[in-house]
Amino acid sequence: MPMTLEAVRELDRWDPLATFKARFALPDGEIYLDGNSLGAQPLASREAVVSTLDQWRDELIKGWNQGWFDAPERLGNLMAPLIGAGQGEVIVTDNITLNLFKLLGYITESQGRQRPVILSEGGNFPTDGYIAQGLCRFAGYEHRVLPEGAALVDYLDDRVAAVVLSQVHYRTGRLRDMAATTQLVHEHGAEIVWDLAHSAGALPVDLHDCGVRYAVGCTYKYLNGGPGAPAFLYVHRDHQAGGWQPLSGWHGHAAPFAFDGDYAPASGITRFRSGTHSALIYAPLEASLRLWQEVDMAALREKSLKMTELFRDCLADLLEAHGIGDITPPPAERGSQVALIVREHGYAIVQALIARGVIGDYREPGLMRFGFTPLYLSYEDVWQAARHFREVVERREYLAPRFQERAEVT
């Protein structure tokens, strides 16, 4: 290990984000490097859920007038500063899959359906492509795929209505140039919907600064909103009056309690709401987003990059000696994860690490992912995780039969 434990502890002593760790409920004896799949639990989130249970019990239907009904907009406004959006430009609702359907439908209608192609990204997290396929099949559009690694410009023409891309890739952790890509797409007369699943809460995001008009993202990864917490949807204020989104439910109506026979979209971001939402799931996320208001995003980015570098440095010689590839992009193009590729035993290595209390995840084919969440990980956690990784590989612990058996992993 290139750095001593003492030197690493010195980093922790000077870490400006160190106090956040005490505000999370973390399982004993674990080093959790899977916050890019499901974030840890803020202490305040637990209290918020219990308080919402009290509200359900005591207020019953009146609860809807006491913060439940407008939770999508209220939490959207808490999300806004974390992604460089303005007030009234974000709602928290449904999930990424459904929000993509709404935005793609909205964009094509706003364009008068002059362009029949939706372009999504090969090798991206599959639900983005699946919902684009479903939408195209249903609306009679053409689904085009940008192969992984191909140049976007070669796939843009005047038939492309909209492009869906992830700012940070779920496998490699590669960070795209959002400003340049957005400009390129707009120059071709198309729109782009950014998926911020692996960037919101992982690094500073500035949608306005990058000229972004449409984005979605999830809150259960880096933002610690709870398992399957609702997603967010962003539409730039100048692009909110384009038409209908196709999932036109009563909560997106201009006057939901007038019980009109005809749908009329609400003004502003509210038109992107659909049907009735669960009040309960907003409680833990709201508590987490309030904690996030205190976070200095520049400090977060600095710590994130120092942690990923520390992990890589601790393992560089080992990876080379054992033929394990490190496909983590260089710092300027990196999200907040380390991505390692093995020809075999990748699943078993991750299982052997889990048995030691180091939680990463495995994604076919051959990918070991380790997410680094600056709010609740210390530098010492990272160093210890690297030590465990070294021991698992050097001692070939992964060859134990119990680690080779496959179970479904999300």
List the catalytic residues. Answer: 125, 195, 220-221, 369
Q: Kindly state the smallest distance separating residue 282's Cβ from a second copy, in Å.
A: 9
Among 163, 157, 160, smallest CA distance to 141 is for: 160
Please state, in angstroms and rounded to a whole number, the distance separating the CA atoms of residues 331 and 26.
28
Question: Closest CB to a second copy among 22 and 332?
Answer: 22
Q: Is 198 assigned a ligand-binding role in the annotation?
A: yes
Q: Encode 229-252 in three state secondary structure.
A: CCCEEEECHHHCCCCCCCCCCHHH
Q: Is 97 assigned a ligand-binding role in the annotation?
A: yes
Q: Is 131 assigned a ligand-binding role in the annotation?
A: no
Please state, in angstroms and rounded to a whole number, the distance separating the CA atoms of residues 197 and 233.
11
DSSP string, 92-118: E-S-HHHHHHHHHHHHHHHTTT---EE
Question: Closest CB to a second copy among 31 and 319?
Answer: 31
Q: If 0-12 CB within 10 Å is exposed, 13-18 middle and 19+ buried, where does residue 27 land?
A: exposed
Contact present, 225 and 285 (Cβ < 8 Å): yes
At 397, list the tokens.
């612990």
Question: Closest CB to a second copy among 74 and 301?
Answer: 74
Q: Kindly state the smallest distance separating residue 84's Cβ from a second copy, in Å.
A: 25
Q: Is 170 assigned a ligand-binding role in the annotation?
A: no
Question: Closest CB to a second copy among 4 and 114?
Answer: 114
Q: Kindly state the smallest distance separating residue 266's Cβ from a second copy, in Å.
A: 12
Q: Is 52 assigned a ligand-binding role in the annotation?
A: no
Question: Closest CB to a second copy among 145 and 305?
Answer: 145
At 187, list the tokens.
């120059």
Q: Kindly state the smallest distance separating residue 40's Cβ from a second copy, in Å.
A: 7
Q: Kindly state the smallest distance separating residue 34's Cβ from a second copy, in Å.
A: 5
Using DSSP's 3-state secondary structure scheme, residue 370 falls into strand
**End-to-end alpha carbon distance in the chain:** 31
- Which residues have a Cβ under 8 Å from the Cβ of 152 and sit 6 or more positions away? 146, 163, 165, 181, 184, 185
Q: Give the CA diameter of the chain.
A: 70
At residue 323, φ and ψ (nearest 5 deg) are 65, 30
Q: Is 181 assigned a ligand-binding role in the annotation?
A: no
Match 């639990």 to its residue by tokens: 41
Q: Is 260 assigned a ligand-binding role in the annotation?
A: no
Q: Which residues are annotated as a binding site?
A: 96-97, 125-128, 195, 198, 220, 250, 276
Q: Which residues are annotated as a binding site for pyridoxal 5'-phosphate?
A: 96-97, 125-128, 195, 198, 220, 250, 276
